[in-house]
């Protein structure tokens, strides 16, 4: 059986990733759990996102390995990008931890009185949540306001954030190399 186009495109976006530099986690959701989530959400997400969630890339997390990019310690100070060492696509798989859960992220934005927004992606360390509106447009919630995101599709957003992560990893390698 062929993979859905969204899954093929996501794998294509991940081709430049060198696994020696990254730790990766993914966990597919069951269709029943996804359907129950959409019922709780109150609107349907695009079918392509459903296909991604039910695939081997559902509940996806990629982060730079500590030996490439050491984790920040309490009270570390630096440019914001130096804390953005991963990308998370929220999911519903049984093994997906709460911090990567679509349900937990939805609950968190609703506690902030944000309606009509389904968080789906986050850059690790950034306060911004990317997600869908009921009309399937993408938006970004910065912790204060919900604004339209320029990405025209999930895969465009995913590709943009993976490419940005790869650039940040190279920048961090260069930064660490100058420290000697």
Domain of residue 52, residue span: 5-179
Phi, psi of 93 (to 5 degrees): -60, 155
Q: What is the mean pLDDT of the chain?
A: 92
- Number of domains the chain contains: 1
Q: Which residue has the higher pLDDT, 163 or 83?
A: 163
Angle between helices 154-179 and 5-14 in degrees, nearest 10: 10
Span 65-78, pLDDT tens digits: 998 888 887 777 88
| pLDDT given at position 180 | 61
Does 82 score more than 70 pLDDT?
yes
Element (H, E) at 3: none
- CATH number of the domain encompassing residue 171: 3.40.1580.10
Does 4 score more than 70 pLDDT?
yes
Dihedral sign for Cα 40, 41, 47, 52, please: negative
Q: What is the mean pLDDT of residues 15-31?
A: 93
Span 117-169, pLDDT tens digits: 999 999 999 999 999 999 999 999 998 999 999 999 999 999 999 999 999 99
Read off the tokens for 41. Answer: 């959400």
Q: Determine the Cα–Cα distance for residues 31 and 54; give it in Å rounded to an integer.
A: 7
């Amino acid at each position: 059986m062929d993979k859905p186009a969204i899954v093929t495109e996501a794998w294509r976006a991940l081709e430049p990733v060198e696994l020696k530099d990254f730790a990766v986690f993914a966990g597919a959701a069951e269709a029943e759990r996804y359907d129950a989530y959409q019922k709780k959400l109150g609107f349907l997400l695009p079918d392509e996102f459903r296909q991604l969630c039910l695939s081997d890339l559902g509940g996806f997390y990629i982060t730079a390995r500590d030996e490439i990019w050491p984790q920040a310690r309490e009270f570390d100070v630096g440019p914001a990008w130096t804390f953005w060492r991963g990308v998370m696509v929220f999911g519903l798989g049984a093994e997906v931890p709460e911090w990567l859960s679509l349900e937990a992220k939805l609950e968190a934005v609703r506690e902030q009185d944000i309606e009509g927004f389904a968080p789906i992606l986050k850059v690790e360390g950034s306060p911004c949540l990317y997600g869908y509106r009921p009309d399937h447009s993408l938006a970004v919630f910065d912790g204060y306001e919900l604004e339209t995101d320029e990405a025209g599709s999930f895969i465009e957003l995913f590709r943009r954030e993976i490419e940005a992560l790869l650039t940040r990893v190279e920048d961090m390698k260069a930064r660490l190399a100058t420290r000697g």
